Structure 1
Amino acid sequence: MPPVPSRPGRRRIALLVAISCLLAGCRADRAEPARPGLAPLADPGIEGEGLEAIEPAPALAEGGPRLIVSKKGVVLPVLGASGDAFRVVTPCGNEIVATGTPIATIDVVLDPGHGGEEPGAVGPRGLTEKDLNLVVAAHAAKALQAQGISVLLTRRADYRMTLAARGLVVEAIRPKVFVSIHHNAGATAPSPVGPGTEVYHQNASGESKRLGGLVFEDVKGYLSQVKGVPWVAAERPGVQARVGATGDDYYGVLRRSKGTPAALIEGAFISNRAEEALLQRKDAQK
């Protein structure tokens, strides 16, 4: 396998998102809000300590927190107040009463696709997309935080999260930038253009299109430096909007994050044995 370029691929994604965030008007020198760490979670805590069955609760007060993070690191959009606790939506879409740390503002939300019983793509050697997406997002978040940019991951462990719940996180916190991280499968045809990276943007958003273009140029530029990989590609690699039958965005996370510049990246093809081998290497994951 050829050597990986000296600049880490995951960090390049993070730097790219940071540039896009700054273009959207972020200020890295302002005070950062409280936010959870990035330590891996052994248990998502959906039914654990601090969570109770849902009970009727009054509406959320004006100016109150819109998002909390539970003791075990689960991100929970807030629907209303319940004494000292909050009525929230869990990753699987249930409404419960929970306690946690309020999150006021966030610059960037990174969304590791899939999770739990939804593995996403699976490579010939067993690499699962859900695990790789989480590794990519964690490295990207650390690099962004090192630059003074606040970051929130929609999930920080291996559990299922509905598209609606991911959209509620974005709607609740309204970050400057939202990026959903994925890896691809299915293509078998040799790529005539090098890496078959795909980036999807919101159809009606110029800022989303600009974000998608920057993400694509940076990620593909990095991957293209790795020589000797027999890349594969689908029919239409590159930056594009995909529209569904109703004329709206095809991908749920883009459709549910309107009002925030958003992009969905399919970094490389796990289903291609050579690309999977590259993505499994630790020097390509940092």
Structure 2
Amino acid sequence: MIKFLDNKLFRYLSVFLFLNSLILPVKSSSALAAWVLKNNGVLELRTKSNTNLKAYFQKSNQISGDRFWVDFPGELKNPRIIKGNGPIKEIRLGKPNKGKTRLVIEFKEETYLEPLTWKMVGLDQNRWRIKLFNPKYSFKKIGEGLVEKKRGNIKANQNFIHKKKNNYGYLKLPEVKRNKFEVVIDPGHGGPDPGAIGIGGIRETDVVLEVSKIVKNLLSEKGVKVRLTRTNEVDLDLPPRVSIANNTDADIFVSIHANASRGKRRDINGLETFYYRGWRGRLLAKRIQKQILIVSPGSPDRGVKQGRFYVIKNTRMPAVLVEIGFLTGRLDARRLEKITHRKRLAYAIAKGILEYLDKVG
């Protein structure tokens, strides 16, 4: 989110990345693990997973040039100043206050910047990127550490669907009473109706069917009886989906979809969950929304909302419709085309469902 703090004087520009509620302890080491300012003007960061970043821009004054900085949780041990080159005057790493780390990039006076166009993009759970300037002259990259060192975290995330009991570590799914609950999972669209078509031709029906099947497997391992409204590419109208849920007398109904923006705008991304009525429906929606946001850092929180979609309006049990991202959005589409991210989303949805069942069961 880009926001003017003083629109009249054009002094401050703030970029806030609220990725989740994780706050590191004051005594912890810095969440900043590595950084590099490349010769194409792109700043890349590597942090601890799910870090809450806050970034700012300030126009030059009589003392300093234009400055861009990022604040990280966790305290830096060794403050330092690194000499810049080209348009960069210097880069400073310090402790603005106890328990924090600040990375400051100060530009030379003649550097032309367009902060209104800046966007901090989350590449995955621990990497970030922002384009700060277009070099007109030669510029040597400056950095510390290995920003690309991320494969270990991705492998860990693959354990979201590991079948061995008690192998989730901190990702372990909640326990519920076995053989007590019945859930209907509804993969949206199907057959001749592919749903949304996104960047590179990615289809909603393919994404949501795969995610739904993984959700089914995860819930089944926890002793929950699960029924899918469809298991392959078939043409299934809305009333039969509702009938499946009502006839099985399910405890909850969860319809899984992916979004598309009008005009296929690539700057629109985000996740949202809808319910039709009742505190139980709202609670289920809130639990799922919270979990999918955790595994999709950087993607906007479009919130929990009431909706009048046919499948959640006409089912007799608590029902939600979850939109797991925009297939037309640059950030979401890049993630949704990858099996690793689909597994993360499935894990998140399953966790939200189990938390709900544990709460109301």
Question: TM class, shorter-chain normalised?
Answer: 0.5 to 0.7
Q: Within the alignment, does 1:211 sit opposite 2:284 as a pair?
A: yes
Q: Within the alignment, does 1:145 sit opposite 2:220 as a pair?
A: yes
1:228-264 deviations in Å (ceiling 9; x for gaps): xxx4x6xx9110102xxxxxxx200011202x11110
CA distance in 1, matches of 2:189, 2:195: 6
Please, which of 295, 312, 332 is the counterpart of residue 254 of structure 1? Answer: 312
On the 8 A contact 2:195/2:203 being kept in 1, the answer is yes
Question: Offset of 1:279 from its aligned partner?
Answer: 1.2
Q: Which residue of 2 aligns with 1:197?
A: 271
1:93-117 deviations in Å (ceiling 9; x for gaps): xxxxxxxxxxxxx611100000011
CA distance in 2, matches of 1:129, 1:170: 22
On the 8 A contact 2:267/2:330 being kept in 1, the answer is no
On the 8 A contact 2:267/2:329 being kept in 1, the answer is no
Question: Offset of 1:189 from its aligned partner?
Answer: 7.4
Question: Offset of 1:10 from its aligned partner?
Answer: 7.4
Question: Offset of 1:281 from its aligned partner?
Answer: 1.4
Q: Which residue of 2 aligns with 1:237?
A: 302
On the 8 A contact 1:201/1:208 being kept in 2, the answer is yes
Q: Matches of residues 165-184 of structure 1 in structure 2 within 5 Å?
A: 165-184=240-259
On the 8 A contact 2:252/2:318 being kept in 1, the answer is yes
Question: Offset of 1:165 from its aligned partner?
Answer: 0.5
Q: Which residue of 2 aligns with 1:276?
A: 333
Question: Offset of 1:278 from its aligned partner?
Answer: 1.2
CA distance in 1, matches of 2:160, 2:260: 19
Question: Offset of 1:285 from its aligned partner?
Answer: 2.7
1:132-154 deviations in Å (ceiling 9; x for gaps): 11000001111111111111100
Question: Offset of 1:282 from its aligned partner?
Answer: 2.3
1:61-115 deviations in Å (ceiling 9; x for gaps): xxxxxxxxxxxxxxxxxxxxxxxxxxxxxxxxxxxxxxxxxxxxx6111000000
Code of the aligned partner of 2:331 = A
Q: Which residue of 2 aligns with 1:7?
A: 157
Code of the aligned partner of 2:276 = Q
Code of the aligned partner of 2:319 = A
On the 8 A contact 2:179/2:225 being kept in 1, the answer is no
Flag the structure with larger Rg.
Answer: 2
Q: TM-score, normalised by structure 2?
A: 0.46
Question: Offset of 1:9 from its aligned partner?
Answer: 10
Q: Matches of residues 61-140 of structure 1 in structure 2 within 5 Å?
A: 107-140=182-215
Per residue, is there more strand in 1 or in 2? 2
Question: Offset of 1:7 from its aligned partner?
Answer: 3.3
Shift in CA distance, 202/10, structure 1 to aligned 2, threshold 3 Å: farther
Please, which of 146, 154, 166 is the counterpart of residue 229 of structure 2? Answer: 154
On the 8 A contact 1:107/1:177 being kept in 2, the answer is yes
Percent of aligned positions with the same letter in both sequences? 26
Shift in CA distance, 221/116, structure 1 to aligned 2, threshold 3 Å: same
Code of the aligned partner of 1:173 = T
Q: Within the alignment, does 1:28 sit opposite 2:86 as a pair?
A: no
1:123-177 deviations in Å (ceiling 9; x for gaps): 1211100111100000111111111111110000001111100010011001111
- Divergent runs of 4+, >3 A: 1-11, 187-191
1:155-210 deviations in Å (ceiling 9; x for gaps): 0000111110001001100111110000111063756xxx611100122x110010
CA distance in 1, matches of 2:241, 2:261: 25
- How many residue pairs match? The answer is 183
1:20-76 deviations in Å (ceiling 9; x for gaps): x95xxxx3156xxxxxxxxxxxxxxxxxxxxxxxxxxxxxxxxxxxxxxxxxxxxxx
Q: TM-score, normalised by structure 1?
A: 0.57
